[in-house]
Amino acid sequence: MPICGDTRHENYIMETKFTPIAPDAELPHRKIIRSWLIPISQQNTFRAFLLLFVDYTLLLALLAGTIFLSAWWLKLICALVAGFVIGRLFIIGHDACHQSLTPHRKLNKWIGRLAFLPAVSPYSLWDVGHNVVHHGFTNLKGMDFVWCPKTKEEYDALSPMRRFMERVYRGPLGAGIYYIIEIWWNRMMFPTKGYMGTQRKVFFWDGLLVSIFGLAWLGGVLYAAHATGQSALLLVLCAWFIPLLFWFYMIGFVVYIQHTHTRVVWHDNRAVWAKAQPFVSTTVHMMFRFKFGALMHHIMEHTAHHVDMSIPLYKLKKAQKTLEEMLPSRIVIQMFSWSWYFRTIKACKLYNYQERYWTDFDGNKSPDVV
């Protein structure tokens, strides 16, 4: 952060705001890069509440549709869109957990817990795993566990069952399965010390809170089925199971494409990792047609989020644009297509940390995917 009264520092900021950094020049310190974004990072409490209100209203309306609409296909559409809205609410909670949603710390904590409820996700566990570990050590092997690739030697040393699971996780339908097992179940729902080195009372209470919510939601659906004379199985699928399953696949997919790319670098040496300024080189700005990224509250403008977590979701688009103007050719930018996604899945199986390239399961170097 700039020091008040330091004229030389302020002049440097004013100069660099209009002078992009050459691709072959040394990358500025993170404090300098963050200083470009200071005018963008102001938070707005009213806007935060409005976003929360709109998304909760949408979710409740869609869940009502799964119950009261008669056609099964209309129920299914409502169920799928409800899962997407759970993802939107989670992004709001994600911002609150970063203390970037509003200027008020305690308010952010309660908004975060409220927004996380439909995703059945404990706030405090996400805080540790995401804010402390993932953001603190992005793409550093041994610290950041999210989609961390194994080496060929590590893969070969796994049991047959574990190798099978690795192939499932890194396969076309693996994103949701990976998130449910490796992130949500192992590290968020009453995790053991093997997955969470420290145990805190708040972890238990947050886990209990979302468990009660999830079961109460299921109970409400069963009651609605009885009260309306509908199939309990159909309503449980449409008003509970499918929205949650869609949400789990949505976040698994989002986190995968935000940090998996043949141009994204992983490290196993902390000194080299730190020197590489990983907050710029380890994330992908995933672009979508038809302004689809805006429907996800701009969370795919991910480089800006990693550079400065205090930027609220409603300012990320402008922050990302500023970074890409100031750091040409430094940021991984990818226009999303299903062709790119499946080619990336095929290419990014294992990783060679010495040479810094992705390989297939046989250890063969993968081609760049664009």
- pLDDT 10s digits, 98-140: 999 999 999 999 999 999 999 999 999 999 999 888 988 999 9
Angle between helices 242-259 and 72-97 (to 10 degrees): 50
196/268 Cα distance (integer angstroms): 21
The set of residues, in sequence order, having a beta carbon less than 8 Å from that of 106 and lying 6+ positions away, is none
The more confident residue out of 3 and 293 is 293
Residue 33, in any domain of the structure: no
Number of folded domains that form the chain: 1
Phi-psi region of 120 (alpha: psi -120 to 50; beta: other; left: phi over 0): left
Asked if residues 33 and 44 have their Cβ atoms less than 8 Å apart, the reply is no
Does any domain span residue 91? yes
Q: Is residue 63 one of the residues assigned to a domain?
A: yes
Please give the Cα distance from 133 to 146 (Å, whole number): 9
Element at 236 (helix H, strand E): helix 232-236
Contact 276, 301 (CB under 8 A): no
Structure tokens at 320: 């990302």
Q: Which residues contact 339 (CB under 8 A, 6 or more apart)?
A: none
pLDDT of residue 18: 54
User: Tens of pLDDT along 176-224?
Assistant: 999 999 999 999 999 988 787 778 899 999 999 999 999 999 999 999 9
Chain center to CA of 50: 22
DSSP 309: T
* Distance, CA of 114 to CA of 287 (rounded, Å): 29
In a domain, 337, yes or no: yes
**CA 368 to chain centroid:** 24
Closest among 192, 55, 189, 61 to 114, alpha carbons compared: 55
| φ, ψ (nearest 5 deg) of residue 349 | -105, -55
Tokens 């957990």 correspond to 97
Q: Determine, yes or no, domain membership for 110.
A: yes
- The yes-or-no verdict on residue 10 having pLDDT over 70 is no
**Domain range for 108:** 42-359
Whole-prediction pTM: 0.90
4 falls within a domain: no
Classify residue 98: in a domain, yes or no: yes
- Match 């500023």 to its residue by tokens: 322
**Is residue 348 situated within a structural domain?**
yes
